[in-house]
Amino acid sequence: MVKTFKKAGDIKVGVIGYGGTFNMGAAHLNEMKRAGMTPTAICEIDKERLKAAAKDFPGIETYSAAADMLKKSDVNLLAIITPHNTHALLALQCLKAGRHVVCEKPMAITTAECDAMIAAAKKSKVVLSTYHNRHWDGIILGAMQHIRKGAIGDIVRVDAGMTNWGKPGDWWRTSKTMSGGIVYDWGVHILEYTLQIIRSEIVEVNGFMWSGIWAPFTKWKKDTFEDDAMITVRYASGAWSTLAMSQIESRSNPHFIKVTGTKGTLVMHWNASEIVTHEGGKTISTSIPNPPNEGWKLYQNIADHLTKGTKLVITAEWARRPIHILDLANQSSKLGKALKAKYR
Ligand SMILES: NC(=O)c1ccc[n+]([C@@H]2O[C@H](COP(=O)([O-])OP(=O)(O)OC[C@H]3O[C@@H](n4cnc5c(N)ncnc54)[C@H](O)[C@@H]3O)[C@@H](O)[C@H]2O)c1
């Protein structure tokens, strides 16, 4: 049985990583606070960022090494908000020390890392989740409302892409080793949307990845992430999905995500769902505004799970599914063939 708490305020929470790019450490702690939990500790290896953290949360415990924090602090739940290649190791350290963990997306880089994290959480009887806050984005909440009502019939295909032309930046996100690759940052959010839309088992994954065009011009040289990638997934229902990510596409796709069903197509725009159907030879296009983003519900659900036993929405097994696709796609692109999924 997972260790539980009488009330949310009893859950002492902390973050590992207080980066300045998007100020995600502060965002997590504020959302945890909004869900009634108690901000207690911050661990950050960068001295300047640790100073900023102490200023933002006066009186909070600060640490410059996770091992030190786990030894000295009685913090119960930790969010890991660090570069992708450090998620698994830090999570394992925390889970083995009996702490609940919410790992930022992507949960990890490989399926094997996810498996090890899930096993460690089970052994320590603690919760392991992933910060898939975009599960509650208005763009997917709106799309799911229409899809569930049958607005486009049964799902045939999901096409998604974030493509543009431009030299990758010199931050860790464009290092293949640290990020996992071009498909791991936004790609994991898009796959998490896709898996909500296609409620079926993953059968097979094909990955196509091109590298070397931008590599000579970046800080990482041969460790630069891919220039272009395409992932196709076959599902048991007969549906399939595609995901394209590119830094070399000169004319980028204006449609972020398009869902084609047996009765119509739904285009997911940031502000609205556009539903296109055909009736009596006429094309009918309807645009329906999306509901607001509700990403804060993630920590509310975690707090409710730990205090009232409410069902966890983002389970570790759910978060492993997009990672399994990304991992198989990486392997598939190297082998030049489709690979069968182990986790459906
Ligand atoms: N869910 C979302 O909407 C969303 C948005 C932005 C970022 N992210 C995710 O958050 C994570 C971090 O991204 P970021 O933009 O904050 O990066 P960042 O580079 O701004 O911050 C990362 C921080 O981690 C610190 N760090 C690295 N190793 C550490 C360790 N061992 N112990 C303690 N601190 C360590 C670094 O010093 C740095 O300050 C990534 O997984 C990213 O994908 C998610």
Residue 335 in domain: no
Q: Are residues 185 and 119 in the same domain?
A: no
Q: Is the CB of 21 under 6 A from ligand 1?
A: yes
Q: 287 and 300: one domain?
A: no
Res 252: pLDDT: 80
Count the alpha carbons within 13 Å of 158 in the hemisphere toward its beta carbon.
27
Atom of ligand 1 nearest to the CA of 23: 16
Which residue from 82, 85, 293 has its CB within 8 A of the most atoms of ligand 1, so it is best to mutate?
A: 82
Residue 163 in tokens: 């493509």
pLDDT at 251: 85
Is residue 254 scored above 70 in pLDDT? no
Residue 1: is its pLDDT beyond 80? no
Give me the pLDDT at residue 220, please: 97
Distance 191 CA to ligand 1 centre (A): 20
Q: Ligand 1 center to residue 322 CA distance, Å? A: 19
Q: Are residues 163 and 272 in the same domain?
A: yes
Q: State in Å: Cα 231 to ligand 1 middle.
A: 25
Ligand 1 center from residue 302 Cα (angstroms):
20
Q: State whether 146 and 279 are in the same domain.
A: yes
Answer yes or no: do 119 and 203 share one domain.
Answer: no
Nearest atom in ligand 1 to the alpha carbon of residue 43 is 33
pTM, whole model, 2 decimals?
A: 0.97
Tokens of 301: 């659900």
| Domain co-membership, 41 together with 68 | yes
CATH number for the domain including 61? 3.40.50.720
Identify whether 320 is part of a domain. no
> pLDDT, tens digit, for every residue of 305-321?
999 999 999 999 999 99
Distance of CA 54 to the CA centre of its chain: 27
User: 224: phi > 0 → left, psi -120 to 50 → alpha, else beta; which?
Assistant: beta
Does 322 reside within a domain?
Answer: no
Cα of 86 to ligand 1 centre, how many Å? 9
Distance 157 CA to ligand 1 centre (A): 33
Is the pLDDT at 253 greater than 80? The verdict is no
Q: Where are the beta strands (DSSP E) in the chain?
A: 12-16, 38-43, 61-63, 77-80, 100-104, 128-131, 155-163, 202-210, 228-235, 240-246, 257-261, 264-268, 272-279, 282-289, 339-340
Q: Percent of the chain at pLDDT above 90?
A: 97
More confident residue, 254 or 24: 24
* Class of residue 224 by CB neighbours under 10 A (exposed 0-12, middle 13-18, buried 19+): buried
In a domain, 222, yes or no: yes
Average the pLDDT over 214-225 and give the result: 97
**Distances in whole angstroms, Cα of residue 253 to Cα of each of 65, 228, 230, 338:** 43, 13, 13, 25
Distances (CA, A) of 166 to 53, 127, 161, 325: 33, 40, 16, 26
Residue 196 · residue 137 · CB < 8 Å: no
CA of residue 331 to ligand 1 center, whole Å = 26
pLDDT in tens, 198-211: 999 999 999 999 99
Is 169's C-beta closer than 6 angstroms to any atom of ligand 1? no
Confirm whether 323 is domain-assigned: no
The CATH number of whichever domain residue 162 belongs to comes to 3.30.360.10
Residue 321 lies in a domain: no
Residues 155 and 237 in one domain: yes
What is the domain range of residue 151?
137-291
Considering the domain architecture, whether residues 157 and 269 belong to the same structural domain is answered as yes
Same domain, 112 and 191: no
| Summary count for the chain: helices (H), strands (E) | 10, 15
Which of the four pLDDT bands, split at 50, 70 and 90, describes residue 3? Answer: confident
Please tell me if the CB atom of residue 17 comes closer than 6 angstroms to any atom of ligand 1: yes
Q: CA 330, CA 198: separation in Å to the nearest integer?
A: 22
DSSP assignments along 213-277, one per residue: SSGGGSTTGGGB--SEEEEEEEETTS-EEEEEEESB-SS--S-SEEEEESSEEEEE-SSEEEEEE
Looking from the CA of residue 104, the nearest atom of ligand 1 is 41
| pLDDT band with cut points at 50, 70 and 90 for residue 42 | very high
Tell how far the Cα of 74 is from the centroid of ligand 1, in angstroms.
23
Neighbours of 169 (CB within 10 A): 10
pLDDT at 173 over 80: yes
What's the pLDDT score for residue 276? Answer: 98
User: Which atom of ligand 1 sits closest to the CA of residue 131?
Assistant: 1
pLDDT of 87 higher than 70: yes
Residue 133 CB less than 6 A away from ligand 1: yes
Mean pLDDT, the chain, integer:
97
Instruction: Output DSSP code: residue 175.
Output: B
Same domain, 226 and 123: no
Given 275, 291, 307, the domain boundary residue is 291
Residues 147, 197: contact at Cβ < 8 Å? yes
Q: How far is C-alpha 67 from the geometric centre of its chain's CA atoms? A: 25
Among 201, 232, 143, 229, smallest CA distance to 321 is for 201
Residue located nearest, by CA, to atom 39 of ligand 1 = 19
Do 255 and 302 lie in one domain? The reply is no
Instruction: Mean pLDDT check: name the lowest of 63-72, 94-103, 128-137, 253-262.
Output: 253-262
Q: Can you tell me the mean pLDDT for 33-53?
A: 98
Helices 24-34 and 47-56: angle between axes, nearest 10 degrees: 30
Whether residues 77 and 141 fall in one domain: no
Residue whose Cα lies nearest atom 10 of ligand 1: it is 81
pLDDT higher than threshold 90 for residue 188: yes
Provide the residue type at 168 as one letter.
P
Cα–ligand 1 centroid distance for 199 (angstroms): 30
Structural domain includes residue 337:
no
Percent of the chain surpassing pLDDT 70: 99
Q: Which of 18, 24, 80 to mutate to test the pocket of ligand 1 (most atoms within 8 A of CB)?
A: 24
Q: Is residue 341 part of a domain?
A: no
Measured CA to CA, the distance from residue 296 to residue 1 in angstroms comes to 26
Number of domains composing the chain? 2
